[in-house]
Amino acid sequence: MTILCVRFQLPPLYEAALPGLLGLLEEFTPVVEALPPDGALADLRGAERYFGRSAVELAAVIRVRALALYGVDCMIGAGPGPMMARMALRDARPGVTCAVPEGPDAVAEFLADRPVAALPGVGTATARTLCEYGLDTLGRVAAAPLSTLQRLVGAKAGRELHEKANGIDRGRVVPNAVSRSLAAERPFPLDELDPDRHRRALLSAAEELGARLRALEKVCRTLTLTVRYADRTSTTRSRTLREPTAHSAALTKTAYGMYEALGLQRARVRALVLRAEGLAPGAQASHQLTFDPVDERVRRIEEVADRARAKFGPRAVMPGTLAA
């Protein structure tokens, strides 16, 4: 086992602890990839040799330190590659590390009876297509001829699917930093059913992210929405923006679009989290000019509002919906 996939059980409004928890992982290896809002991948190939301990044994130490230093428990999956570690995490529970057995035969047995939708990268449409032809488990997909899979899902996708179903994991851990994203969380005091209040929370979060991005002179390329429900489950959706931006109106429009696409009907929502990802310097961003004077006026008003907030506080200027 060389790769760990860790999911920290962060309570609401505790995402600020994630950088510290990533630092804890970096005490064992510099190859750590943040998976906001609450996870990470860690490559322990060098750490196993340095500490003379297996990845599973190091996972136990990581869990104890996270509890002692941050009061946060975690679930950990271990595997020979990132894909296998992610799949092992599905079977993990607090206090117990789930590890994929070593050896090609053991890996094949681990994958054989799992539904094809459990494979990372297989979406709903692909899984439906495969199931229509009786390829509903990874064992059956692994046994299917490569040419058959390529006819069903395409040449490149079929080749990748065939390799993954046979336990061939070509992924790698790419070190990054959680600071490359900004998050705004809006919890509700009680489980909220009202869509109008959901939208007001999204508006507030988008306004906050836009102001923070402009203050840092950054723009974001991707916006991610996480909806947390009363039963502690959650739904996450991401959308790449048409152009990198820190414009609050564009962020709000994208957030609304993701929310509407979920089609929530009387869902009991506990919290909404909006995250700006793929940050880049604002000076390097381009903006498509339009002939619409309204857009230009909105951007000028935004600049004036930012100056007012900097002088009189964050609540000096806000949308009327939020002021009410």
How confident is the model at residue 12, as a pLDDT? Answer: 54
Mean pLDDT of 265-293: 78
Question: Nearest 5°: CA angle at 79, between 77 and 83?
Answer: 90
How confident is the model at residue 159, as a pLDDT? Answer: 92
Whether the model clears a pTM of 0.75, i.e. scores above it, the answer is no
Largest CA distance in the chain: 67
Mean pLDDT of the chain: 85
Q: Is the dihedral of CA 109, 113, 119, 125 positive or negative?
A: positive
Question: If residue 15 lies in a helix (H) or strand (E), which one and from where to where?
Answer: none
Residue 39 β-bridge partners: 7, 35
How confident is the model at residue 1, as a pLDDT? Answer: 59
How confident is the model at residue 15, as a pLDDT? Answer: 57
How confident is the model at residue 23, as a pLDDT? Answer: 86
The Cα 175–Cα 22 span in angstroms is 11
CB 254 within 8 A of CB 158: no
How confident is the model at residue 254, as a pLDDT? Answer: 94
How confident is the model at residue 13, as a pLDDT? Answer: 47
- What tens digit of pLDDT does each residue of 5-50 get? 999 887 654 555 677 788 889 999 999 998 877 889 999 988 998 9
Q: What percent of the chain is modeled with pLDDT above 90? A: 28
Distances (CA, A) of 156 to 136, 150, 165: 20, 7, 14
How confident is the model at residue 78, as a pLDDT? Answer: 93
User: Which is higher by pLDDT, 102 or 142?
Assistant: 142
Count the neighbouring beta carbons within 10 Å of the beta carbon of residue 115: 13
Mean pLDDT of 77-91: 90
